[in-house]
Structure 1
Amino acid sequence: MPDSDDSDNEGGLGNVNRAVMRPPGHSGKAKRGHLCFDASFETGNLGRVDYISEYEYDLFIRPDVCNPRYRIWFNFVVDNVRQDQRVIFNIVNFSKTKNLFRDGMTPLVKSTSRNKWQRMSKKHVYYHRSPEHRSNFILSFAFAFDREEDVYQFSICFPYSYSRLQMYLAEVEGLKLSHVRRELLANTVQERLCDILTLGHTTPPGASKPTKTVVVMARCHPGETPSSFIVQGLIDLLVGDHPVATELRKYVVIKIIPMLNPDGVFLGNHRCSVLGADLNRTWQEPSQWGHPTIDAAKKLLLSLDADKSNGLEIVLDLHAHASLFGCFVYGTTYEDVYRYERHIVFPKLLSQNAEDFSPINTIYNRDPLKLGTARRLLCSQLSDSVNTYSLQVSMHGYIDRHGEGLISYTEEAYMRLGRDLGRALFDYFKAMQVIPSTGRGPQAPSTTTERPPRNQSTDAELERYRLTDSATSSSRTESPRTPALSGAPRVSVLNMSQLARGGHQLTYNRLRARRCRSSHQDTPGKMPPPFSS
């Protein structure tokens, strides 16, 4: 069940390790039905289990290493179950009570015989104040184990481990493509690799070279796993032969730092590094010893900005949000009106490409409490021509624009958002005339077949490290909702200012495809009706 079986067991720091829950007074060998909890694996998190009764267990999230403030991420397995055994799990020590569980989010579950993550049914999950727990908010969920031989895994969101990233990058590197280069940005405190992937054509001396640079960063906060799926979707698009990717690579160099906090990811932290530091509050004065990845990333950005031949244009810091829906952007306000109008162009174009974009949650500000973040610091230290954003995506789902209600994200949906991000970059640089307009843009594959709904997952879990676009880009069909892939560009330089001022009505008018929600699959184990112990 876990992503990695690291022999040094370092991922189990402070986690329960094969803890068997025996009834009071019972001794000897554990019987079937005496649940065994384990989180001593990479990305695992479960600090303590209290036996309340045969049917009820209190679970305690392990705080981030060296920082007791953050207790959100959980990821653990349960085995030694009895056929049709019914239980109630209470997660009792969340550090953030204002979260998406208030709005209907439910834990994820999978088992060894059903190896695809699925959301639990809402009618068996309760987020409430508990008098038995000092009136604190707790998450209670009822579950029935239907197969004795299975091992069941529960998590707050789709795990994406350091080992999985290394396997994926090794696969990309193994393609031996001339326009893909993998390099080491820095070693972490625990000597793990912080990689940087450069995508763009290398040019011989005297030839024209790409004139603009984009930097994308992710997983500064370990528990924000959706950002890793977005990065993988973006890389899948850019390494392939899709017309958007080939045009982007001709004129733009894209540098991707897929995991800024490998130590925290490995240990199963939610927000902090191995030393207990929130790395997204250390950008003002990063320590080469305590925050080596942030220190290296900052030096890289400053050097790219100083070298005007690179033309650093956009810096994107990817995050996941635990209390809001959809994907949205945090930007910066500027006194210079032209710079502000130019700054909001890319989010507008992203809203045209991503159907889950939430203009309501998009914010532009200069919050003094965020001075140590990448977005706030870099917008003041980099050149005026550089646009720095935080791209946020919900850990749960998004509100459908066509009245179909809330749609939960899947792994494939997050990766599709990464591909939408690549299309938005293409539209942006075409609007800025970095990518020349030839009257007819790159031709997309035939759009006669409707694009699969965003909430309909493929077999990405079974083919875990498949390059989703690189192998199929020549035959994959696209929805009519992405007209930038065929015909003239949607935004010209002449009407760019109109786009910046035009509000969000322009966004909705451009959306053409209506999706159909796929039917929900049954979760592992038939969920029991609510019952009391």
Structure 2
Amino acid sequence: MVSSAIRNYGTTHQCDSCSHSVCKDLNEKLRTTQLVVTFSGNRPVISLRPPPERVNFTCGIRWPIECEVISDIIHHIEWDPPKPEPFYQSTGYERTPMPVGEERGKVVFCIDHATKHPYFTYSRIGGSREPIKRATFYDVNETDLILEFESRFESGNLQKAVQVGARDYELTLRTDMYTTKHTQWFYFRVRNMKAGVTYRFTIINLMKSSSLYLQGMKPLLYSERDAEENGVGWQRAGSNIKYYRNCSQDSNNDTITFYSLSWTLQFPYDSDTCYLAHCYPYTYSRLQRYLSHITSNPAVKSYCKVRVLCQSLAGNAVYVITIMPQDSGRMDKTKKAVVVTARVHPGESNASWMMEGFLGFLLGDSADAQLLRDTFIFKVVPMLNPDGVVVGNYRCSLAGSDLNRKYRTLLRDSFPSVWHTRNMVEKLMAERDVVLYCDFHGHSRKNNVFMYGCSNKVDASLTLHERVFPLMMSKNASNKFSFNTCKFRVQKSKEGTGRIAMWRLGIKNSYTMEATFGGSTLGDRRGTHFTTQDLKSMGFHLCDTLLDYCDPDPIKVRDEGNIKSYAILLDTSGSDSSDSDGLPLHLLDQPKNAHTEVNRLL
């Protein structure tokens, strides 16, 4: 009887606790766990297995097997400065120290940069199986205190520190794993300092010719003692800030030009534990804690479902959040959808702060949040590149490639998060209209927040359509969002980006929203750095603008001429191109005659 029922369904089943011998036989031939068989008397009842109600956020983080990971749990409090923090004002007398090197200096911290393999092979929870190697190289009893460095924690990426003076240190950043490039993000720990003493730090292997440090941006400092005693978190710090070209170096017969960031700093306390960073860190662990928190709220749980979209290359979960009222919207094909993603580039942590602000507004109990949830179905992928975030990469995944050039790929196993995101959007568009796609990013060369969009040159009636939403954003966040900086182009080199790929699928409002690492040059915030609260507020403003866009206020979008006045801005390109957008590294190791077929798949 059971066999007949199974044949009628065309598959086998899983019976979790069944004494029926026929079920045991069927379980041996199990092909799926989608069907569950229970019994009412002797009659089998077959049903679909329901999806899990909650995602397990307690699973350990998976690291490449090469990575040494210390056991310290890093936690930073949130804090907003009482007053906006001003940009650094250059004096014109800042030093430009040239690299000294370990031959004339003293290596005080060094971790292995060379990986066991030229490309990612496998991962495990906690990284390397081997004991943690010593990375500090000085006698702790030395009378002249030497700073103690560490970066073998989540999102850390300092490779080497060389003492080149009594209080001067040359720092080398680890490049993105399985590449020799992409050094811009930094995040590391310092101990064993003296308060009131001026230290100099010089990062010697940056690769971008320009930076917001040339426009007054300051690095970030976090003091654990200040956090514990005064509730003070990340704050801008540093003087004598200089960004400059330092040297060129030959590598494999190629000339690489390096740039330095040099600054001086005084720590607030003796023997403190401090952290220095390029931008406010936002780790994969923090995302897991945030998602666990929102899904533990019964009210939020009724309209917000967190699921695993796919597994990353290392096996970390890529989460997708679906927001819509329970038992409504799915069958209503007239309800439109909104897709929002973030953190495809792991070093752009400001994107995650915007995402948290976006979710915080959308999952709130305000009337506007309720209206948005009633109006749209939201699909949100908060962290597209968890592996890169975990290991402290700036731009790439563990495939050694820029995922934001892979949205047209057929290589699902090499670039799972972007493949599954595109696939999800295609399925969503088969059911309903997607009114907006927005991918959150960070920008290293421009201040303010702005958008990159696409431009329709075929249909003249749509020429200005894509400019409306960014213009409305500029009205809602006039002291942070710059419409003048927005660009609308479809470039051949960017065809693999999420923005253009989604526009090609038919989403007219397809954008990259770029938030500066620095701050604002607008209104009453002119010349001041962004805080985490400022970044979160941009997520709020996206929600607010979405409401306005659905019911436009004529005061905010006065006339078409208001948009046409910005037409001269269309002749420049969008975000930085990446030169890590080719094959995944493990495929580059294949024989040359295999490349043609793989390139076809790309």
Deviations 1:499-530 (A, max 9, x none): 644659xxxxxxxxxxxxxxxxxxxxxxxxxx
1:387 to 493, 509, 516: 509
SS in 2 for 1:93: strand
Equivalent-residue separation in structure 2 for 1:312 and 1:28 (angstroms): 60
Task: Report the counterpart of residue 46 of structure 2 in structure 1.
Answer: none
Conservation of the 8 A alpha-carbon contact between 2:329 and 2:377:
no
The aligned amino acid for 1:117 is W
The secondary structure found in structure 2 opposite 1:359 is: coil
TM-score (norm. length: structure 1): 0.75
With over 3 angstroms needed to count, the CA separation of the structure-2 counterparts of 1:21 and 1:174, relative to structure 1, is: same
Q: How does 1:40-79 map to 2 (within 5 A)?
A: 40-79=152-191
- Asked whether the 8 Å contact 1:203–1:209 carries over to 2, the reply is no
| Inter-partner Cα distance in structure 2 for 1:268 and 1:171 | 24
C-alpha offsets along residues 205-258 of structure 1, whole Å, 9 cap, x if unaligned? Answer: 998676110000100000001110011001111111112111111111111110
1:18/1:113 CA distance change after superposition, 3 Å: farther
Please name the residue that 1:157 is paired with: 279
User: Following the alignment from structure 2 to structure 1, what is the Cα–Cα distance between the partners of residues 470 and 140?
Assistant: 61
SS of the equivalent of 1:114 reads helix
Q: Which amino acid aligns with 1:371?
A: E
Give the C-alpha shift of residue 201 in structure 1: 1.5
Matched, 1:125 2:241: yes
Match of 1:353 among 462, 476, 481: 476
What is the CA–CA distance in structure 2 between the aligned matches of 1:131 and 1:296, rounded to whole Å?
A: 42
Q: Could you say which residue in structure 1 is the equivalent of 2:103?
A: none
* 2: CA distance, partners of 1:175 / 1:74: 35
CA distance in 2, matches of 1:282, 1:132: 31
* Partners of 1:5 and 1:375 in 2: CA distance: 32
1:338 is aligned, of 444, 455, 461, to: 461
Contact 1:11 1:44 in 2 (8 A): no
Residue of structure 1 in register with 2:596 after alignment: none
1:78 maps to amino acid: V
Read off the aligned partner of 1:342 and give its amino acid letter. Answer: H
Report 1 or 2 for greater relative contact order, CA contacts < 8 Å, sequence distance ≥ 6.
1
Q: Aligned pairs, how many? A: 433
Bigger shift: residues 170-179 or 59-68: 170-179
Any idea what the Cα deviations from partners look like across 1:374-427, whole Å, max 9, x if unmatched? Answer: 1122212x12x532111111011111225x631210011100111011101111
Give runs of aligned pairs for residues 284-295 of structure 1, distance below 5 A: 284-295=408-419
Q: CA deviation at 1:358?
A: 1.1
Q: What amino acid maps onto 2:448 in structure 1?
A: G
One-letter identity of the residue aligned with 1:420: H
Following TM superposition, by how much is the alpha carbon of 1:32 offset from its aligned partner in structure 2, in angstroms?
6.5
Say yes or no: does 1:105 pair with 2:217: yes
Computed over aligned residues only, the root mean square deviation of the Cα atoms, in angstroms, reads: 2.8
Deviations 1:173-224 (A, max 9, x none): 1112211111111111111111111122133599867611000010000000
Query: SS of the residue aligned with 2:208?
Result: coil
Is the partner of 1:124 in helix, strand or coil? Answer: strand
Q: Which residue of 1 aligns with 2:550?
A: 429
Matches within 5 A, 1:245-260: 245-260=369-384
201-210 vs 78-87, greater mean Cα deviation? 201-210
State the partner residue of 1:329: 451
Q: Which amino acid aligns with 1:261?
A: N
* Distance verdict in 2 for CA 1:253–1:144, change over 3 Å: same
State the 1:33 CA deviation: 1.3
For 1:220 and 1:155, how far apart are their aligned partners in 2?
19
Match of 1:238 in 2: 362
Q: Highest CA radius of gyration, 1 or 2?
A: 2
Contiguous gaps of at least 5 residues in structure 1: 432-487, 505-533
The 5-angstrom pairing of residues 198-237 of structure 1 reads: 198-204=322-328, 211-237=335-361
Instruction: Measure, in 2, the Cα distance between the counterparts of 1:105 and 1:223.
Output: 16
Greater Cα offset, 193-202 or 225-234: 193-202
Alpha carbons 1:427, 1:489 under 8 Å: kept: no
Judging changes above 3 Å, is the alpha-carbon distance between structure 1 residues 348 and 204 closer, same or farther for their aligned structure 2 residues? Answer: closer
CA shift, 1:145, in A, is: 3.0
* 1:312 Cα deviation from its structure 2 partner: 1.2
Give, as a single letter, the amino acid of the residue that structure 2 aligns with 1:316.
C
2:128 — aligned with what?
Answer: none
**1:35-90: CA deviations, max 9, x gaps?**
11100000001011112122211100110001112111110011122344332111
Q: How does 1:473-492 map to 2 (within 5 A)?
A: 490=555
The residue type paired with residue 278 of structure 2 is I
The answer to whether the 8 A contact 1:345-1:496 is kept is no
Letter in 2 for 1:429: C
Q: Is the 8 A contact 1:430 1:489 kept in 2?
A: no
- Structure 2 partner of 1:35: 147
